A and B are shown apart, each in its own frame.
Chain A
Amino acid sequence: MSAKRITSIAILTAVALTIFIAEAQIPVLIAVPGIKLGLSNIITIVAAYLLSRRDAGIIMMLRVFLGSVFGGSMLAFFYSAAGGICAFAVICLLYKIFDEKQIWAVSVFAAIAHNLAQLVIAVAIMNSPAIIWYAPWLVIAAVVTGAFTGVAAQLSLGRLKNLNVK
């Protein structure tokens, strides 16, 4: 592992963690359980396209773990990890299918996978099958937030490529 790779992973993890903690301070606007913007996912996508998918996975897991240590709980860790892993799997699957001008769409699919994974975890943790009825809410939220974070990631990547970070 080169020093440059370690540094890139460390910097992007720090950025993702900062965004994660900052976002946690913003009150949730919608009174539906489990919905938030998920701004730190911008970094997961940026890392997947800027570095590699493997590094993006490392950054995502580090952010999820450290995010729970600094600003969450054990429960929050399970939700974040399940959502993060599923979203990451979708990014890996769609990486080759969509080009760099359609990162926003990859982000939407990843967000849907993220939210549905969290819903399944919620059903298990709360021991309540009725919670599954929140699925339509979470799909709508995923399309909106996923498109937003995806566009943000796409624009950031356009700038970062010029800096020749890799």
Chain B
Amino acid sequence: MKSISNLKLIVIFAALILASAASILIMTERRQDALIAEIYSEGKLLYTIDLNKVTESYTIELPHNTVLVEHGQISMKCADCPDQVCVRQGKIKNGAYPIVCLPNRVEIRITNKAGVDAVTGR
């Protein structure tokens, strides 16, 4: 039983890649005014930081990771896991893609919840 030709399959897969790439581009280019970073460890919210109010950059030490907080952006500076994926994800400036460290269960997420005043941790 041969129902789908190779050509059709390639077209389907190419369309899937293009649609995914387009949605990634749209997500990445998204701008937002409020830059509230949330740092989670093991599913629990540890820090909430308004990145627009950060004037001097500083680091936050977690048990297995170090987070670099800067004005308008946030990144993972180092991690003790072997793959270092979270470090190479670089700086994030919007809510499109959270920085995720799967082995240590750490996540840095930017939300657009405006009006968050409670800045914990610092």
In the complex, how many residue pairs between chain A and chain B have their CB atoms under 8 Å apart? Answer: 91
Within 8 A of A (CB), among B55-113: 83, 85-86, 88-90, 95-98, 100-103, 105, 107, 109
Say if the beta carbon of B6 comes within 8 Å of chain A.
yes
B43 touches which of A28, A127, A137, A147 (Cβ 8 Å): A127
Per-residue interface assignment for chain A, residues 26 to 68, with 1 indicating a CB less than 8 Å from any chain B CB and 0 otherwise? 0110011110000000000000000000000000000000000
Which residues in B have their C-beta under 8 angstroms from that of A143? Answer: 13, 16-17
Give the interface residue-count category, chain B: 20 to 34
Could you tell me the dominant secondary structure of chain B's interface residues? mixed
| CB–CB A33/B102 < 8 A | yes
CB closest chain-A residue, reference B27: A133
Number of residues on chain A facing chain B (CB within 8 A): 34
| CB–CB A31/B85 < 8 A | yes
A33 touches which of B40, B43, B96, B100 (Cβ 8 Å): B100
A126 touches which of B16, B96, B107 (Cβ 8 Å): B107
Query: Chain B residues in contact with chain A, CB under 8 A?
Result: 1-4, 6, 9, 13, 16-17, 19-21, 23-24, 27, 40, 43, 83, 85-86, 88-90, 95-98, 100-103, 105, 107, 109
5 A-B pairs (CB sep. < 8 Å): A33-B89, A33-B100, A102-B2, A130-B98, A136-B27
Query: Chain A residues in contact with chain B, CB under 8 A?
Result: 27-28, 31-34, 73, 75, 79, 96-99, 101-102, 105, 108, 122, 125-128, 130-131, 133-137, 139-140, 143-144, 147
